[in-house]
Amino acid sequence: MFNVTFINAQFWKFWGNKQKIDSLELIINKDRKSFKKEVAQVYLSLKILQNKTDSLSYDLISTQQTLDSLAFKLIDKSISDTLSTPKKLVDSKSIFCPDKNFLAESEKLKNCCCLNDESCLSETTDNGLRVINEGHRMAIKSRSIVKGSCWDFVDRVFTRSGFNRTNRETIYSNKKGTKFSQFDILQPGDWVYHVNYSFHNVEHSAIFICWKDFKKRIAITLSYAGQNKSVPGKYGLYDLSGIYNIIRPKN
């Protein structure tokens, strides 16, 4: 005979466990819905953030384009100002010697022999004066950085002076190491390629400014150190007895 009391006890125990299971399922389902809702909210927030990021990126690109446009306008204005006032920092259009403005801004130029000896004065052209003015402005006044080689700096000075590569004339060209003797043809503002005897006899590009000692071929030039350094151009003393190429600006 069945034990009714035992069966009833087992039934109610089973029923109690089922109630607990059902309760847990309700809690789990509720948590699952809550989790899905939170995931959806996070996704929506990420979407909004992405839209804002895209908008900011567009604004940054637009701002950069505006800045680039302004930079080009400033460069164009600088070139225009230089071309319209080619004698801004010099006393003569045919004879160059650093004036008080140059000397106040660069101690190195006080070595120019023309300051103490009129026979040391160097003739040049309006084109040469443009190159000198622009080179001085870039190196001394604005301290412009032209990273690259010494060649890149002089090329940039010539270009900003209004003399691109079609407005340049090679008046002397020879192989490196060839003896140079035509020193009288040098004019302030000329682009010279010469052997840099002070630095491993490497090739060097510079703008001829003036002589310190004509007989010893010691000159003051404007050039950039090269080697991709983040420094502006500067005036320096160089032995130009190893010149092998001369380029002159032309209209």
The full set of domain ranges for the chain reads 1-84, 92-249
Q: Residue 92: what pLDDT?
A: 42
Residue identified by tokens 């682009």 is 191
Residues 154, 223 contacting (CB under 8 angstroms): yes
In sequence order, the 6+-apart residues with CB closer than 8 A to the CB of 152 are 146, 224, 226
pLDDT in tens, 134-174: 999 999 999 999 999 999 999 999 999 999 999 999 999 99
Q: Residue 7: what pLDDT?
A: 65
Q: Residue 15: what pLDDT?
A: 61
Total residue count of the chain as it appears in this document: 251
Q: Pick out the chain residues at pLDDT < 50.
A: 1-2, 79, 82-92
Q: Is the dihedral of CA 166, 167, 171, 177 positive or negative?
A: negative
Tell which CATH classification among 1.10.3470, 3.90.1720, 3.30.1490, 2.170.16 matches the domain 92-249: 3.90.1720
Question: What's the token pair of residue 216?
Answer: 């010893």
Q: Residue 85: what pLDDT?
A: 42
Question: What's the token pair of residue 155?
Answer: 């090329």
d(CA 35, CA 146): 58
d(CA 104, CA 89): 11
d(CA 74, CA 68): 10
Q: Residue 84: what pLDDT?
A: 42
Output the CA angle 51-55-57, nearest 5 degrees.
115
In sequence order, the 6+-apart residues with CB closer than 8 A to the CB of 153 are 146, 205, 223, 224, 226, 233
Q: What is the pTM of this model?
A: 0.64
Neighbours of 184 (CB within 10 A): 9
pLDDT in tens, 180-189: 999 999 999 9
Neighbours of 234 (CB within 10 A): 15
Amino acid letter, residue 116: N
Neighbours of 196 (CB within 10 A): 19
